[in-house]
């Protein structure tokens, strides 16, 4: 996403810049770990709703305190786009967090990171953008990798026996995030990033709160400190601090360079899951994960070339 208010000022040294970028990826990669703790006290819809509600409230508070300008009335078309983007974001978080009940942290994070593949396929089908041979090769590698990852995973998730469902939910989360990016880019030129994320997070929170209430999924009990700790950590560390630091890094690194570093998120999540939960992957599943990373890398390259064309 575009720039938010920078976290740092002045002429930062190169180590500080790299540390900020790496720290952002660790914070975002840790989201699945926080989600696992959150799921110990609440169901997926409730966890997603609480996470988005906290993030939206923080952004709304920031908007009220540091509001520098008078916002003109938003066109109805733009409002509808923001609502649709909020719905897509709600689907992303709900399906991804739900997937963590049925598959491992490493696989869930890996599959939800397939967003560049979905956005590239959308542009190819809808906007008739040509995909290079490298992109088609990456797609083939991704399909093969998904088959290996889904078929050769031995780590037992919290709810065993539904690993395929977990993989499907994680892929749905990646596709929904792709839909969010496609919708947001239609209005990105007209609005600053803080206004975009404030509106989309707020609409996503509203959708998730309604969905959680309809499904009778309430928030964790007040005494469920582990669950609330996971939810607050997701909202403040992964979503607000992690993504804000990632946006701040755009001051020093190209957008394509920052995009490529997102490949570290599944790796970070996998390492943390091994250290915290003892989750392991078979060599075949690891090989499949490597193929998926190659596929994502290929499509990120495709996006970078399209942006500079």
Comparing C-alpha atoms, which of 245, 136, 177, 108 is closest to residue 185? Answer: 177
What is the average per-residue pLDDT within 53-61? Answer: 92
Mean pLDDT of the chain: 80
For residue range 198-229, list pLDDT tens digits in order.
889 999 999 999 999 999 999 999 999 999 99
Residue 157 has pLDDT above 60, yes or no: no
Q: Are 99 and 112 in contact (CB under 8 A)?
A: yes
Write down the pTM of the prediction. 0.81
Tell me how many degrees the CA angle 304-307-309 measures, rounded to the nearest 5: 110
Question: Which residues, other chains included, contact 126 with Cβ-Cβ below 8 Å and sequence gap of 6+?
Answer: none
Q: Output the DSSP codes for 121-188.
A: HHHHHHS-PPPPHHHHHHHHHHHHHHHHHHHS-----SSTT-HHHHHHHHHHHHHHHHHHHHHHTTTG
Distance CA 104, CA 196 (A): 32
Comparing C-alpha atoms, which of 34, 75, 73 is closest to residue 51? Answer: 34
Q: Are 3 and 250 in contact (CB under 8 A)?
A: yes
Report the range out of 37-41, 104-108, 128-132 with the highest average pLDDT: 37-41
Distance CA 87, CA 199 (A): 11
Distance CA 180, CA 187 (A): 12
Residue 262 has pLDDT above 90, yes or no: no
pLDDT range class, residue 4, cuts 50, 70, 90? very low
Residue 257: what pLDDT?
62
Residue 129 Rama label (left phi>0; alpha psi -120 to 50; beta): beta
Residue 156: what pLDDT?
55
What is the average per-residue pLDDT within 164-192? Answer: 85
Q: Are 179 and 30 in contact (CB under 8 A)?
A: no
């Amino acid at each position: 996403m575009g720039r938010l208010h920078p976290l740092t000022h002045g002429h930062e040294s190169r180590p500080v810049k790299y540390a900020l970028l790496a720290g952002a990826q660790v914070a975002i990669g840790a989201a699945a770990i926080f989600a696992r703790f959150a799921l110990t006290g609440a169901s997926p819809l409730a966890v997603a709703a609480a996470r988005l509600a906290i993030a939206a409230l923080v952004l709304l508070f920031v908007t009220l305190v540091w509001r520098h300008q008078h916002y003109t009335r938003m066109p109805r078309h733009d409002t509808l786009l923001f609502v649709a983007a909020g719905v897509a974001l709600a689907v992303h978080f709900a399906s991804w967090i739900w997937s963590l009940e049925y598959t491992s942290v490493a696989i869930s994070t890996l599959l939800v990171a397939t967003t560049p593949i979905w956005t590239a396929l959308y542009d190819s089908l809808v906007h008739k953008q040509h995909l290079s041979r490298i992109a088609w090769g990456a797609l083939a590698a991704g399909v093969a990798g998904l088959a290996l990852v889904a078929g050769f995973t031995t780590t037992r998730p919290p709810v065993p026996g539904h690993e395929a469902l977990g993989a499907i939910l994680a892929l749905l989360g990646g596709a929904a995030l792709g839909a969010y990016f496609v919708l947001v880019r239609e209005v990105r030129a007209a609005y600053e990033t803080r206004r975009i994320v404030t509106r989309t997070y707020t609409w996503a929170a509203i959708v998730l709160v309604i969905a959680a209430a309809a499904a009778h999924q309430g928030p964790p009990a007040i005494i469920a400190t582990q669950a609330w700790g996971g939810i607050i950590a997701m909202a403040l560390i992964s979503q607000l601090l992690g993504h804000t630091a990632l946006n701040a890094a755009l001051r020093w690194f190209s957008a394509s360079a920052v995009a490529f570093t997102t490949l570290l998120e599944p790796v970070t999540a996998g390492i943390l899951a091994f250290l915290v939960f003892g989750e392991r992957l078979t060599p075949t599943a690891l090989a499949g994960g490597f193929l998926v990373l190659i596929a994502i890398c290929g499509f990120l390259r495709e996006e970078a070339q399209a942006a500079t064309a």
